[in-house]
Amino acid sequence: MSTTPDDPSSIPDPPDPGTTEHPDRAAETAGERTPEPSRRSEWTRITHTRAAYTWTGLVIGILVLILLLVFILQNLDRVTLKVFAWDFSVPLGITLLLAAIAGALIMGLAGGVRIVQIRRAIKRK
């Protein structure tokens, strides 16, 4: 059977763009870059980072602050606070907040002193 140029059966079908090239190479030629398989496996192994710990700490801190705000708003009864010769009339929630802050500062001060002691001991060696 002979074919003529006007015969549509004589024109070959164009190649399918998805089957002629490797999928990763097709993505690179289209302007998209896909990571190498070895890099993909590295990404799946990363589970904990400093940023993740920081984010978790911030979220927990915000939740604690919300609970603290609710506590303060529910304890607005005024109490008299006596410090040396001064008398203060302060809401109970604020008084407990100030006590917690003072305790945290004392704890931080004690921890800071210990860190300085350890650093000096390491420098001496």
Count of domains observed in the chain: 1
Q: Kindly report which listed range (18-27, 29-38, 65-74, 95-104) carries the lowest average pLDDT score.
A: 18-27
Residue 4 placed within a domain: no
Between 109 and 19, residue with greater pLDDT: 109
pLDDT recorded at residue 125: 81
Cross-strand partners of 78: 91
pLDDT recorded at residue 117: 93
Residue 2 placed within a domain: no
Q: Tokens for 86?
A: 């001064």
Residue 3 placed within a domain: no
Residue 84 placed within a domain: yes
The residue range of the domain holding 35 is 12-124
- Within the chain, residue ranges assigned H as helices are 17-20, 23-29, 37-45, 50-74, 92-124
Residue 91 placed within a domain: yes
pLDDT in tens, 34-72: 555 555 555 566 677 888 889 999 999 899 989 988 988
Q: Which helix (H) or strand (E) holds 88?
A: strand 86-91
List Cβ neighbours of 29 (8 Å cut-off, separation of 6 or more).
21
C-beta of residue 72 within 8 angstroms of C-beta of residue 65: no
Residue 7 placed within a domain: no
Q: Tokens for 104?
A: 């945290």
What pTM does this model have? 0.47
- Give CA–CA dist 84/88, Å, rounded: 11
Residue 100 placed within a domain: yes
pLDDT at 30 over 60: no
Q: Tokens for 3?
A: 């074919």
Residue 49 placed within a domain: yes
- pLDDT range class, residue 120, cuts 50, 70, 90: very high
Between 81 and 89, residue with greater pLDDT: 89
Spatial CA neighbour of 27 closest among 36, 39, 40? 36
Q: What would the mean pLDDT of 25-36 be, rounded to a whole number? A: 56
